Chain A
Amino acid sequence: MEKSKINFKFREKLNKTLEGKHHNYCYQCGACASICPAARYSEKFNPRNILLMTLTGLEDELIRKDSPIWLCTNCYSCYERCPQDVRPIEIIITLKNIAVEEGKAPDEITRFSEAVEKTGESVVHTTTVDRRREALGLKKLEKPEIDELKKLLETE
């Protein structure tokens, strides 16, 4: 079997992010995995394992299009149960952010946010929507002030 490559600097990268430094507190108790719905349904996903891989610096296995991180359902149960305030979900989101930055995210992930950044809304409001709203006596939807949002997102 091929040996896993360890990046000893990976944890430093995480420490520089918004939520990433919490991973240092993980002592591998497994409370997160015991309540995780994604782990119950998919053998590929286990938050405790993801934290172990993070602590070990297995960057190549975590930061890739077919990484288990994309199977997290975002339910926040691990955040509640973790006795060490690791916030596993926030670590997973941080890993996702790194993957996106390095162009290693599935297309489904970036497609959604590209639409938001372009139009200011995640669901495009069509003329059919306008017609239905009018029939129901609901206010017409105004297009979001996209110039403001663009200015806000410019230098990101």
Chain B
Amino acid sequence: MKYAFFLGCTIPARAMNYEVSTRKIADKLGIELVDLQDFDCCGFPVKSVDSFTTIVMAAKNIAVAEEKGIDICTLCNGCVVTLAEANHELKHNEELKKRVNKELSKIGREFKGTIEIKHLARILYEDVGVENIKKAVKFPLDDFKLAAHYGCHYFKPSIVYGKFEDPEFPTSLDKLIEATGAPEFNYSTKTDCCGGGILGVTEDVALKMAQTKLDDLKKEKADAMISICPFCSVMYDANQKSVEKIAETEYNLPVLYYTQVLGLALGVPPDELEFKRNRIKPKEMIKKFDEKYGENTVKSEE
């Protein structure tokens, strides 16, 4: 399994815990992530300004991976939706493809439509497979209630993802979480939008949106929220204290990347998963984990 690793702009600068834990679990599961020099911004931030430019920028990134002949793996929902939407449109709209390729010809590149774009979580689900993950788990996380947060762009618009998820009832991340040994955990606000898209325009509404899910997970006594998008994590983790202020309550809910909890289950020592970079520290979880498996996790490193 080999993928062009599309890190994007935010993760390598602001979510190194996500990147580090991804590289560790990829090693354990035999996923080869190839860093390509010529990638730049996916194009997402430009879409409100000019949709066509976004498609051109996305197409350029896709062309870079096409030249190597490998599919793209992203970690960010913003990157995956931008690249997958462009990939889908360009594969199905000859006229648009011609227009975009005219632009790309200025830099000697071409969009051909020969590769797929996948989020890491989808790769884990479809290509590695839930059963293989279960087999690789050394330390089942059966004591923790872990709440899946997919983020909108992971599966919508479903048509650009070949409808691999039911857009009303997504299940893949839940199954990935259960593969770590954690119990099934359902809650009513699972597919709620984090509000990140309007944080810069109207912060109070964005925080209220984040509040609903945090309230729900407090009520349901979740041990942690599991995220697969750095922007959703900004809303629920980095802004959790701000939400607490307007909600006049305390959540203290760790928001962890799936790769971090998968790392724990696969036997990556906790201190190598950079939990110290999560704003809300999963202290109790790690303590419980250490009490149960501590000696073994150290031994596994020898």
Residues of A within 8 A of B (CB): 17-19, 37-38, 41-42, 70-77, 79-80, 87, 93-94, 96-97, 100-101, 105-106, 108-110, 112-113, 115-117, 120-126, 129, 132-133, 136, 138-139, 141-142, 144-146, 148-149, 151-156
Query: Assuming A73-B195, A133-B12, is B53 touching A153 (CB within 8 A)?
Result: yes
For B45, the chain A residues whose CB sits under 8 A away are 112-113, 115-116, 122
Q: How far is the CB of B170 from chain A (nearest CB, A)?
A: 11
Is B208 in the interface zone, CB < 8 Å from A? yes
A38–B202 CA distance with the chains assembled, in angstroms: 11
A37–B286 CA distance with the chains assembled, in angstroms: 34
Is B40 in the interface zone, CB < 8 Å from A? yes
Which of the residues A70, A120, A138, A155 comes within 8 Å of B19, measured between beta carbons? A138
For A113, the chain B residues whose CB sits under 8 A away are 45-46, 48-50
* Number of cross-chain contacts by CB at 8 Å: 158
| A132 and B16 contact, CB distance less than 8 A | yes
For A19, A73, A101, the residue with the greatest tally of chain B CB atoms inside 10 Å of its CB is A73
A94–B19 CA distance with the chains assembled, in angstroms: 34
For B153, the chain A residues whose CB sits under 8 A away are 74, 76
For B200, the chain A residues whose CB sits under 8 A away are 108, 112
| B156 and A75 contact, CB distance less than 8 A | yes
For B167, the chain A residues whose CB sits under 8 A away are 80
For B206, the chain A residues whose CB sits under 8 A away are 73
Is B9 in the interface zone, CB < 8 Å from A? yes
